[in-house]
Amino acid sequence: MAKTNQTNGTPAASDAPPADDQKQTAQETELPGDSVCWLRLVCPECGTMAEAEPPTKCPQCGAQLEAGR
């Protein structure tokens, strides 16, 4: 059962939707996870993250990571 104000029966402030000026857009909220910019460091062969910027070799399997992918 929803909480109501004891004096007039209106919804309690905690149950009321936020005012338009208090709403946040998706761009204003912080989303979890890492940015897609890390993708260039992921080995396409085994999925290990390289420790150096491409071009380099994967530290796990030795596959070549090319620059510019």
DSSP state for residue 57 in the 8-state scheme: E
Over 90: is that where the pLDDT of 60 sits? yes
Whether 19 has a pLDDT exceeding 70, the answer reads no
Establish if 7 belongs to a structural domain.
no
Residue 68 has pLDDT above 80, yes or no: yes
Helix H or strand E encompassing 56: strand 56-57
Tell me which residue range forms the domain holding 44. 36-69
> With 60 as the cut, is the pLDDT of residue 50 above it?
yes
Domain presence at residue 56 = yes
In whole angstroms, what is the distance from residue 49 CA to residue 52 CA?
9
The answer as to whether 68 is a domain residue is: yes
Does residue 53 belong to any structural domain of this protein?
A: yes
Does residue 13 register a pLDDT over 60? no
